[in-house]
Structure formats: C-alpha cells, structure tokens
Amino acid sequence: MMQEDQGVQKVDILEIPTLIQSLENDGVVLVPGYLDAATVAEATQECHQLFDRTPSWAHHEEYSVGESVRMERANIDRSAFPAISSTFSRPELELVVSTFFGEGYIFSRTVYAILDVVGSTTRVQQPHYDKMRHLKSFVYLTDVTAASGPFHCVPGSHLATREAERENRLRRIVPTDDDARVLPPGLVGRGIPVPGKAGTLILFDSDIAHYAGIVTEGERLAVRSLSFGAYRSETWYRKDGTVEAAP
C-alpha cells in the first residue's frame, strides 16, 4: 500500500526490525546522523580529490555540469579514501543489507560520488525505477533543501513496480532505460522531496519510483552505494538477447 502521509519514516541505523519493516512497506527510510560532522568533512574532501585526480581504479563519468565518479568498493584505496570506504562498509549497514536480501547478498558493490550544481541535467531527474533491483544507500554530504536538488520518491510504489516487472524477472530480463521511465498507473506526479542534513542516509528499494531534484541554489554533494540480492550473481539479459553487465 502506498504511503499517504507525505513523509518518510526516520529510523536509527541500529533499529534493524523497524528499518526493514519500513523498507518492506514504504520502500524508503531515512537515517539522520548516519555520518558525524567529522566524517562528513573527510568524505567531502575525498570526493573532491576523486573529482580532481580520479585514480585508475575509478571511472570519471560524463556529466553535464557537476561531477560523477563510479568505483567498485573492493577497488577503493582505503588508506587514501578512508571515509568513503568506511561509509559503505560499516557492519550495521551490512546487517541491514543481509537482513533485507538474505543469503547470497552482495554488499555495497558499486559506489558513486556525485556533485550536482545549478545547471546539472541528467536522466535521473526523470521519474523512474532502476532496471536491476537493488538496495541503494544514499548519503548527503551537504545540507539538502528543496532548492538544492533533494531526492524525490513515491513511498510504497516499489510494490507496483515489483508486480509490473514480475514476468521479466522470472525470465531474467531487464527493462530498457525508456521502459523504466514508464511508471505503473497512478504514480506520475506523486513524488515527494526528501531533504536532509549533511550526514543523512536514505535507504531505498530501487523499485520505488524516484528521481533527483533540480538544483536551483547551491549544490548537492552525495555518495551512494548499490547492494544486491543473490539474483545479481545470475546471468541477466537485455530484451535484444545480449547479456546485461551493469550496474
């Protein structure tokens, strides 16, 4: 059932049963204060280092205005980037992932650092669900308001997406980017913003209808990781029959 109160539940990262129940019911949960101020400052510095001098083990992605760097968590140089590495390797976060997906889970496999500024344009600003279901851990490194491009979502919509993709998933077929932007009926125009202070963690089932807000003032710096269930270890296919390799 889709949430009607136009809000996202706030839960402490250690309240695992409540957190998992919120993810199951709403598809999204907010964890204020996941990172303290010192870790936020350190992670911020590391992000700018990634943007300015991208290491060989990371990929500096094309971005309209702003920055985006993608990396595999296993490849991150922990001595040079301890804050980003530790943000997505904390045992309490892994406990959430293992409880959510069960045996064979893949924890924080891929990590992104993203800077959105005034003028940033990207496809993720269009309402969509993700082609390959995962649990996304999204951490704000700046205070995010309505003007600085907050994450938006439709709480509860993951259940409609799950049903819409049921047959494809049984056949291990992923939708196209365009398909993932055709939302189930009743979801268009229902997205709510999820602002938060620096250090806030947003956990969400990527089946939820979601999109990035547009920055009209300031900037939004964030890091995120993608965790999967055991199904991601299987071979998946695009509609044309070729193997799906990403994310």
Class of domain 24-233: mainly beta
- Look at residue 3 in the predicted model and tell me its pLDDT: 42
> Cβ contacts of residue 73 below 8 Å, gap of 6+?
85, 88, 89, 108, 109, 110, 111, 225
**CB-based contacts of 25, cutoff 8 Å, min separation 6:** 1, 3, 156
With beta carbons less than 8 A apart as the criterion, state whether 200 and 31 touch.
yes
Residue type at 123 in one-letter notation: R
Mean pLDDT over all residues of the chain? Answer: 95
pLDDT in tens, 160-199: 999 999 999 999 999 999 999 999 888 988 999 999 999 9
Which is it for the CA torsion 181, 187, 189, 190, positive or negative?
negative
- Do residues 144 and 215 lie in contact, with contact meaning Cβ atoms separated by under 8 Å? no
Rounded to an integer, the average pLDDT of 17-42 is 98
User: Residue ranges per domain, the chain?
Assistant: 24-233
Tens of pLDDT, residues 126-143: 999 999 999 999 999 999
Instruction: Supply the pTM of this predicted model.
Output: 0.95
pLDDT value for 5: 39
Render pLDDT for 193-247 as a digit per residue (tens, 0 to 9).
Answer: 999 999 999 999 999 999 999 999 999 999 999 999 999 999 999 999 999 987 7
Strand 28-31 to strand 58-60: parallel, antiparallel, or no bridges (unpaired)?
unpaired
Token digits of residue 202: 């947003």
CA 26 remoteness from chain centre: 15
Beta strands in 106-246 (DSSP E): 106-117, 135-140, 151-153, 192-194, 201-205, 210-212, 219-228
How many angstroms separate the Cα of 146 from the Cα of each of 84, 105, 141, 220? 25, 34, 15, 11
Closest CA to 152 of 63, 75, 220, 198: 220
* Residues, the chain: 247
CA distance 62 to 68: 7
**The two structure tokens encoding residue 194:** 């999820």
